Chain A
Amino acid sequence: SQTIHQWPATLVQPVGSPLSLECTVEGTSNPNLYWYRQAAGRGLQLLFYSVGIGQISSEVPQNLSASRPQDRQFILSSKKLLLSDSGFYLCAWSAGTSRYEQYFGPGTRLTVT
């Protein structure tokens, strides 16, 4: 069966510091991968998605970036965090089927101080 991992689970970082969040998927190959951010009490905002290694599409211009160095690894980064980057970050994967339902990781709660 497929599983998706994210780490760290929680992170407290000062403004201006770098960020690296990692997501890995097991049990499937060539998944579509997604990064979402959820502000407190709000819906999910798609940040990046990837259909293959090195293929990244950005949905929202911001100081975040994403990379996919391996088929089942998706990384979210920032060189300098802003207060507004605080939130709950969720990684998801989907198979290339007609339904495309997405399965989510446990999330990373980021607080920028």
Chain B
Amino acid sequence: AQKITQTQPGMFVQEKEAVTLDCTYDTSDPSYGLFWYKQPSSGEMIFLIYQGSYDQQNATEGRYSLNFQKARKSANLVISASQLGDSAMYFCAMREWNQGGKLIFGQGTELSVKP
């Protein structure tokens, strides 16, 4: 079974609008971490935001926020006020505590920001 599922292969958003990228996960480990990465066309993977399974509040980093719904096992990324530079692939990833530092990645969502 897929541990990380990103159901949106591609998304479009108008510049300055907000966009939500979906991510659901599957784990039986009560302790885990969730991550979002951005991969522009250059190929580098850029760490955006982290949410721990025991964190009470949703993580935020500037224009990025993570909508963490533990019971539904979802960890959606919200980008506010989209910019043209936000056009990229976005990957959701999970680390299970009993797996040490290993990350499991989803298949990614390609976001295109329209001017």
Total A residues in contact with B, Cβ cutoff 8 Å: 25
A102, B37: Cα distance in complex, Å: 10
Q: Mark A81-102, 1 if CB is under 8 A from B, else 0.
A: 0000000101010101011111
Choose, from B11-19, B67-75, B77-85, B98-106, the stretch at the interface: B98-106
A29, B44: Cα distance in complex, Å: 22
Given contacts A90-B45, A101-B47, A109-B43, whether A43 and B35 have CB atoms under 8 Å apart is no
Q: Which residues of B are interface residues toward A (Cβ below 8 A)?
A: 33, 35, 37, 42-47, 50, 52, 91, 95, 100-108
The 16 sampled A-B contact pairs (Cβ below 8 Å) are: A32-B100, A43-B106, A49-B101, A49-B102, A90-B43, A90-B45, A92-B45, A96-B101, A98-B52, A99-B33, A100-B95, A102-B103, A104-B37, A104-B47, A105-B44, A107-B43
Q: Which residues of A are interface residues toward B (Cβ below 8 A)?
A: 32, 34, 42-44, 46, 49, 51, 59, 88, 90, 92, 94, 96, 98-107, 109
